[in-house]
Amino acid sequence: MKPRARVHRSFLRSMILAITGVCLLLGLTSCSSQPSQDEPPAQQAPAAAGEPQRHDLRGTVVSIDKAGKSLTVNHEEIPGLMGAMTMPYPVKDESLLDNLSPGDQVNAQVVVEEGTGMWLENIVVAPKPAQ
């Protein structure tokens, strides 16, 4: 593959990830979900007006895009935010990506800030279970 084509493919992949994240964020902010009577209340404390919401994430690293500053994670349900799924997340502090590998089990915080977007912070590789 020619170097130019490789750069073009990487750019397209980054753009697709960015557009997917924006579309997901718009979808999340355009609908309001009220818990049913059977659904337990979310474990997250409500954020004060104007402050970002923080939600705990647990999942498995699928891929890392250091150039695009994003991390794709197959994660469990995030109560009060979204169901279990695999999706890319922006990472503002790219140094958090340095010690990650596909297959790592991670704990992190999804930060949702109105008008700014959604990203991951405090990414920590979970300890591997003793064998």
pLDDT tens-digit series, residues 7-39:
556 655 665 655 665 555 555 444 444 444 444
Lowest mean pLDDT among 20-24, 54-58, 103-107: 20-24
- pTM of the model as a whole: 0.61
Please report whether residue 90 resides in a domain. Answer: yes
Please report whether residue 37 resides in a domain. Answer: no
Please report whether residue 39 resides in a domain. Answer: no
Please report whether residue 36 resides in a domain. Answer: no
Find all residues with CB under 8 Å of 35, minimum gap 6, and list them: 41, 42
Task: Residue 61: give its domain's CATH number.
Answer: 2.40.50.320
The number of distinct structural domains making up the chain is 1
Residue 13: which H helix or E strand, with range?
Answer: helix 3-30
Distances (CA, A) of 72 to 46, 66, 76, 99: 26, 11, 13, 15
Work out the number of other CB atoms within 10 angstroms of the CB of residue 72: 19
pLDDT of residue 40: 46
Find all residues with CB under 8 Å of 13, minimum gap 6, and list them: 65, 68
Please report whether residue 38 resides in a domain. Answer: no
Q: Which domain, by its residues, includes 98?
A: 3-31+52-125
